[in-house]
Structure 1
Amino acid sequence: MDSMSAWILAIMDRLGLAGVTLMMFLENVFPPIPSELIMPMAGFWSAMGNMNIIAVIIAGTAGSVLGALPLYYLGTVFDEKRLYALTEKYGKYLLIKPSDITNATHWFNKHGKAVVFFGRMIPAIRSLISIPAGMNHMPMLPFLVLTTLGSAIWTTLLAYAGYVLGANYEQVAEFIAPISKGVAVVVGLVLVVVAFLRIRSVFFDKK
């Protein structure tokens, strides 16, 4: 077990469900902390009888939603140029590159509000997508609803995988990566279909 795994385990051992919420909050604010380790570990603990799996999923989802809020408000205060400059200067301490901010902004500008939901299941987009949502002053209620739904699906998937894999929960990341890529592909296909239908609608309206 590496040092990060040991640290996460110690926090959850000490705080229980509150520790799951805290870890998922920090995972959103500090992306280097992986949800692919936190939730499967909590799922494993559920399988051992130390936690209730439903409570674990609720605690993890709550932490994800709470963790999305600081980044959302950060986006409302700073524009992309200023965030890029801050990330260039201090991002190395959080393992965040300026390009991560640019990519998240590009995803939001290209795909709109839907990416707040789907983005919760895509690596490197999951945490940072809250920033462009704030920059674009996305209404809080839709932001919270989409964030909650996307986070709930993601935490359920990870927790259940840990529950099933048991002591091999650290292998979850290997199984989750293809799923995340699959989500990204599906989102792309859906958006292509929507764009096609809109173009066709405009074409027939002109007729």
Structure 2
Amino acid sequence: MTLTLPRSGAGSAPDSGGDSSWLTSLADWTVSLMEVIGPVGAGVAIALENLFPPLPSEVVLPMAGLTASRGSFTLFEALLWTTIGSIVGAFMLYGLGRWLGAERLRAFAAKMPLLHPEDVDRTVAWFERHGGKAVFFGRMIPIFRSLISIPAGVSKMPLWRFGLLTGAGSLIWNTIFVLSGYLLGENWHIVEEYASILQYVVIAAVGVGVAWFLYSRVRSLIAAKKDA
């Protein structure tokens, strides 16, 4: 999806060939928010993106760079507030994971037909071994950049470590897309198109992983019934 924003200071995204998609509306809302309350608006927008993964950071972040290039605020402010927003949103999901906890998730898994409490134990054990890398690199993977905060809370990763890794990973990701909007201007969507390909790859990989899990679990249940 290619979005075209006006070169003037007006925070509106005109229809592209009459296509008033939700992405165009999102870009329009994001620019308007940042032009009304400044760089803090960029932080608010990216915090919401963390809480609602379907909101694409590949659209929100370049809008912060584009708005900065128009002089509404500085590039440094755009990077600072988008990173703060990323950390705030991540800590909210971390809190959700902390509240859920391993015991609640084990009880939930015990009630699901294809899940077992041991699945939660294995996931927590894996995260305790690789959690640092998962949080840092996960902040640079679409979809996972938000969701990785929940297992961090479930496994009770130290707050200082979670915040440091989240901030570092978010700063790298945010810088790439904010700079794309700042340097490319109205052509920022070039980077967004490549990011969309990465998102599709991630979605496909998740789909294959879920399908394989369901296949393996159903096969093991059938085998268990035959042996009974």
Contact 1:41 1:170 in 2 (8 A): no
The SS at the match of 1:75 is: helix
1:143-182 → structure 2 map (5 Å cutoff) = 143-177=162-196
RMSD: 2.8
Q: CA deviation at 1:83?
A: 6.5
Give the AA of the match of 2:54. Answer: P
Give the AA of the match of 1:156. Answer: T
Contact 1:40 1:169 in 2 (8 A): yes
From the two aligned structures, give the one with the greater helix fraction.
1
Please point out which of 33, 43, 49 is paired with 1:11: 33
Q: CA deviation at 1:150?
A: 0.4
User: Which residue does the alignment assign to 2:91?
Assistant: 69
Please point out which of 114, 119, 128 is paired with 2:133: 114
Which 5+ residue runs of structure 1 have no aligned equivalent? 87-101, 182-207
Name the CA distance, whole Å, in 1 between partners of 2:165 and 2:146: 13
Q: In the TM superposition, what whole-angstrom CA distance separates every residue of 1:84-141 from its partner, at most 9, and x where no partner exists?
A: 999xxxxxxxxxxxxxxx9xx6884673221101100001100010000000000111
Q: CA deviation at 1:172?
A: 2.5
The SS at the match of 1:9 is: helix
Q: Which has the higher contact order (CA 8 A, sep 6+)?
A: 1
Q: 1:11 to 1:84 in 2, by over 3 A?
A: farther
Contact 2:51 2:90 in 1 (8 A): yes
Name the CA distance, whole Å, in 2 between partners of 1:164 and 1:179: 21
User: Which residue does the alignment assign to 1:185?
Assistant: none
Q: TM-score, normalised by structure 2?
A: 0.64
Q: 1:64 to 1:10 in 2, by over 3 A?
A: same
Deviates more, 1:165-174 or 1:130-139: 165-174
Q: In the TM superposition, what whole-angstrom CA distance separates every residue of 1:36-86 from its partner, at most 9, and x where no partner exists?
A: 111111111222222211110001000000111111011011146856999
Percent same amino acid among aligned pairs? 43
Please point out which of 128, 149, 167 is paired with 2:147: 128
Name the CA distance, whole Å, in 1 between partners of 2:72 and 2:32: 14
User: Which residue does the alignment assign to 2:117?
Assistant: none
Name the CA distance, whole Å, in 2 between partners of 1:17 and 1:83: 38
Please point out which of 57, 63, 80 is paired with 2:79: 57
Contact 2:137 2:169 in 1 (8 A): yes
